[in-house]
Amino acid sequence: MSVDTIHCLCNIISPCRNELATTFILVQWLVTAISTILNTVRPVLSFFGIRAQVELNEEDYNDTWMYMPDGDGQPQVAYLIEPPPEDNRNEVPQIIQFEYYGSSNPSEPVVSNVWLNEEGITRHKRDTWEEMAEKFNPALDTKILVHGWKSSTQSNSIQSIRGGYIKRGHVNVFAINWRDQADNIYYLRPARYTVQVGRAVAKLIDLLVEEKNADPKRIHLIGHSLGSHIMGYAGSYTKYRVSRITGLDPARPAFEDCIGPENHLDHTDAEFVDVIHSCAGYLGFKNPIGHADFYPNGGSPPQPGCSEIGQIFTGCSHGRSYEYYAESINSDKGFYALPCTSLFDIKGNNCTGDKILMGDPIPHTAQGIYYLKTSDKPSFALGMI
């Protein structure tokens, strides 16, 4: 199955926010029927010593498998096909965790377990929710963070950003832990869970507004990779329009070629959506999808597959997006970016105009495509050069 085929099937393999049309329901039925036949045939083939498996052949790279970094930036093999029927990870626990870090005791979060269903949440333990709600301060800004594939709230993608905000102080920080669903080498399975986790985050927002008088205009959602799309779903499903969503290299496989913005993070999901594309066109989205989209050039040898993407520009790595963002929270120099009229201007080095800051301090009036250079190691920010 080619990547293009995977992308074209995204309305089937990855749940979407819109209701499935009759055509998609029919296709879903056909896919299920074919899968049932394969489930019957495979044991017979296995009996004769013919075993279906994913071979890591170089010619199949970016087709049936690819390397993706986990939440600590370590490369892992991800299979871009459906798991075999004998895969023993069919039953994934339908539990995620809300972790609240307050400024008064930032090292020990208050944790609330949430049980998921297709609508995103069934129930949560009232006692832990009440403890969390008691510590929440509606007078402060609220940051809600979510990780991506093969990650957790203990991964660098979350801890680096959480640490930056706790260092600044005077802020509510939530981290959404969906590690049990995200930890699967068959990438399409975690991709399916993004909509359910997004609904759960939307429910958290609704509870904060309705039970704790939180101001949705002070709520900011931040997600890395698959987490970017989780936050897109959250912004779409919540009853209250949040002020900002930041997408950190939104995951591309199974999402970018989905028809309609309702299938992935986009500019309609919040009052302001900013995106950092650090591995654009490969692991992350190539095309702009926010109000303001930033394309950094890290200057270092790029992660495999992230260089000269689409013959447009040189990127760096999937994980650099959250590293840049985390540094931007308390940076003295700042990440200053130039406006561009198109992605092709980046390749031609034709971006000119007034620079703006990328990352946490971005002005919410920013619109369009931006390009910037960074250092190849911390601190990454080069300031106003």
- How many CB atoms sit inside 10 A of residue 377's CB? 10
Which of 70, 249, 266, 293 is labelled catalytic? 249
* Coil, helix or strand at residue 272: strand
Which of 14, 155, 225, 236 is labelled catalytic? 225
Integer Cα distance of 215 and 228 in angstroms = 22
Concerning whether 225 is annotated as a catalytic residue, the answer is yes
Integer Cα distance of 226 and 234 in angstroms = 13
Concerning whether 317 is annotated as a catalytic residue, the answer is no
Which of 266, 318, 321, 328 is labelled catalytic? 318
* Coil, helix or strand at residue 265: coil
Contacts of 64 (CB under 8 A, 6+ apart): 1, 54, 79, 80, 81
Q: Are 278 and 320 in contact (CB under 8 A)?
A: yes
Exposed / middle / buried, residue 48 (Cβ in 10 Å: 0-12, 13-18, 19+)? exposed
DSSP sequence for 124-147:
E-HHHHHHHHHH--TTSEEEEEE-
Q: Are 298 and 225 in contact (CB under 8 A)?
A: no
Integer Cα distance of 370 and 373 in angstroms = 11
Concerning whether 249 is annotated as a catalytic residue, the answer is yes
Active centre residues (catalytic): 225, 249, 318
